[in-house]
């Protein structure tokens, strides 16, 4: 009832809520909903149901307008030092032509963003950002440090090609070289005389590519071409998928975590390097957190329900009505036939198997804590 009413409310477009080069196309291709991301339109659903698009993504190939994953380009002689200062991941051995998933933190180790960092070369980096204004943070640091860098948001509009059939589809256009690309590697590939930066990456675990379109006209031709020759692979338009991403535990900045959480609480331990000699903001604070131990932790939850509609976090309680954490994202999973979610649990309540109570739209029910990813 509520959600039906909600869906009739439209979002008013304006210059401030930026369109993408693909907007007119996706609107003709059955787009049903937008969300906003980096002050830009991000498609959030097409005419297929959430479940139909889930199975479609897992079996076929989809093209996504993810231009809202904006680039912060940092170039110049101090660029490597600035990028390192912003992330707790050690980039001292990073290589040209590689992507790095990097938590960006402030001096208190609070998470500013979790971009994919592309090392184009030692003096030119792209931070492919999640939904927060990284460019202002970068500029602030650069000004304060008197760095010799140029920081811009270039005209780059990513289209993602995701799903198992993305490999034969992309091979048909770009040849075998594209299937040789390693996970999180990128290179330049020719399409009708124009070079496009293409990475083997994307916000799904179904495999695929991201095309960082700098030459819009050629990019739009490529977009149309993907749909033209993709027919044999059952290509459809799509967008980051709520069920798939929760099952895969691809975390979403602003939903699952934000400035009030640190990387160790979010399970980003792999991307936290405290024992090398690189210099970054928040390093001392993170060392302190590591030695004292974290006080909350992101976990999975499973709830015996067949639907849920979330737009804010929901408290989790124990039998004595103590708040033990909060669920931040959730969706019904057709694979588990239950609601699965991502929750921040307070110490000492993050034990796998622990039961909790949760009240959803007036109905009280029980759930269980589990590890992520679900799949
Ligand atoms: N692609 C690009 N930019 C992005 C995203 C993207 N910017 C915003 C947002 N997504 C950033 N968040 C993530 C989260 C997870 C991953 C990528 C971006 C990801 N993680 C892999 C995993 O979890 O298996 C691998 C990380 C690794 O180990 O290096 O892909 O999707 N361009």
pLDDT of residue 6: 54
Residue that is written with structure tokens 């934000």 in the block: 258
- What is the bridge-based pairing of β-strands 157-162 and 62-65? antiparallel
pLDDT of residue 7: 58
- pTM listed for this prediction: 0.97
How many whole angstroms separate alpha carbon 355 and alpha carbon 344? Answer: 14
CA–centroid distance, 331 to ligand 1, in Å, is: 20
- Closest ligand 1 atom to the C-alpha of 202? 31
Question: What does the longest C-alpha to C-alpha distance in the chain come to?
Answer: 67
Which residues line ligand 1 at a C-beta cut-off of 6 Å? 69, 101, 114-116, 128-130, 158, 184, 201-203, 210, 250
Which residue in 217, 216, 236 sits closest to 226, CA to CA? Answer: 236
Q: For the CA atoms of 198, 62, 300, 274, what is the dihedral angle to 10 degrees?
A: 0
- Closest ligand 1 atom to the C-alpha of 251? 14
pLDDT of residue 2: 43
Name the residue with the closest Cα to ligand 1, atom 9.
Answer: 130
Query: Given ligand 1 and candidates 101, 212, 267, which is best to mutate, with the most ligand atoms within 8 Å of its CB?
Result: 101
Name the residue with the closest Cα to ligand 1, atom 22.
Answer: 250
Name the residue with the closest Cα to ligand 1, atom 1.
Answer: 202
pLDDT of residue 9: 82
Name the residue with the closest Cα to ligand 1, atom 31.
Answer: 203
How many whole angstroms separate alpha carbon 124 and alpha carbon 74? Answer: 6
pLDDT of residue 224: 98
Cβ partners under 8 Å of residue 12, min gap 6: none
CA–centroid distance, 116 to ligand 1, in Å, is: 6
How many whole angstroms separate alpha carbon 241 and alpha carbon 260? Answer: 25
Whether the CB-CB separation of 62 and 162 falls below 8 Å is answered with yes
Whether the CB-CB separation of 262 and 110 falls below 8 Å is answered with yes
CA–centroid distance, 179 to ligand 1, in Å, is: 19
The domain locations on the chain are 13-69+156-246, 71-153+262-292
pLDDT in tens, the chain (375 residues): 344 445 578 889 999 999 999 999 999 999 999 999 999 999 999 999 999 999 999 999 999 999 999 999 999 999 999 999 999 999 999 999 999 999 999 999 999 999 999 999 999 999 999 999 999 999 999 999 999 999 999 999 999 999 999 999 999 999 999 999 999 999 999 999 999 999 999 999 999 999 999 999 999 999 999 999 999 999 999 999 999 999 999 999 999 999 999 999 999 999 999 999 999 999 999 999 999 999 999 999 999 999 999 999 999 999 999 999 999 999 999 999 999 999 999 999 999 999 999 999 999 999 999 999 999
pLDDT of residue 10: 86
Where does the chain have alpha helices with state H?
2-7, 23-28, 50-59, 79-86, 134-145, 166-174, 177-180, 216-229, 242-247, 283-292
Domain 13-69+156-246 sits in CATH at 3.30.1360.120
Please report, for residues 32, 140, 199, 223, 232, the alpha-carbon distance to residue 227 in angstroms, rounded to integers and kept in the order given: 19, 42, 19, 7, 10
CA–centroid distance, 204 to ligand 1, in Å, is: 8
Q: What's the CATH fold of domain 71-153+262-292?
A: Alpha-Beta Plaits (3.30.70)
Whether the CB-CB separation of 79 and 88 falls below 8 Å is answered with no
CA–centroid distance, 336 to ligand 1, in Å, is: 24
């Amino acid at each position: 009832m509520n959600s039906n009413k909600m869906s009739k409310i439209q979002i008013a477009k304006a210059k401030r809520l930026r369109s993408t080069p693909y907007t007119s196309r996706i609107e003709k291709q059955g787009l049903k909903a937008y969300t906003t991301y980096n002050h830009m339109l991000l498609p959030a659903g097409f005419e297929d149901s959430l479940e139909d698009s889930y199975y479609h993504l897992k079996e076929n190939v989809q093209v996504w307008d993810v231009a809202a994953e904006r680039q912060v380009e940092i170039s110049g002689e101090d660029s490597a030092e600035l990028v390192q200062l912003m992330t707790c991941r050690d980039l001292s051995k990073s290589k040209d032509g590689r992507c790095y998933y990097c938590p960006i933190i402030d001096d208190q180790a609070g998470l500013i963003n979790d971009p994919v960092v592309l090392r184009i070369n030692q003096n030119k980096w792209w931070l492919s950002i999640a939904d927060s204004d990284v460019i202002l943070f970068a500029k602030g640091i650069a000004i304060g440090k008197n760095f010799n860098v140029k920081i811009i948001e270039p005209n780059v509009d990513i289209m993602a090609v995701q799903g198992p059939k993305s490999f034969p589809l992309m091979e048909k256009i770009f040849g075998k070289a594209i299937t040789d690309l390693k996970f999180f590697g990128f290179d330049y590939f020719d399409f009708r005389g124009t070079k496009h930066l293409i990475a083997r990456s994307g916000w799904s675990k179904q495999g695929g590519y991201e095309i960082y379109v700098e030459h819009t006209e050629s990019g739009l031709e490529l977009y149309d071409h993907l749909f033209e020759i993709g027919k044999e692979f059952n290509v459809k338009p799509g967008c980051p998928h709520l069920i798939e991403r929760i099952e895969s535990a691809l975390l979403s900045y602003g939903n699952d975590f934000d400035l009030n959480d640190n990387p160790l609480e979010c399970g980003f331990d792999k991307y936290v390097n405290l024992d090398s000699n690189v210099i970054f903001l928040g390093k001392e604070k993170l060392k302190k957190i590591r030695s004292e131990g974290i006080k909350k932790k992101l976990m999975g939850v499973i709830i015996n329900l067949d639907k849920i509609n979330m737009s804010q976090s929901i408290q989790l309680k124990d039998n004595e009505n103590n708040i033990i954490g909060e669920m931040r994202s959730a969706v019904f999973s057709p694979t588990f036939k239950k609601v699965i979610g991502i929750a921040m649990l307070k110490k000492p309540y993050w034990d796998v198997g622990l039961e909790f109570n949760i009240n959803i739209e007036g109905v009280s029910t029980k759930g269980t804590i589990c590890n992520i990813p679900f799949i």
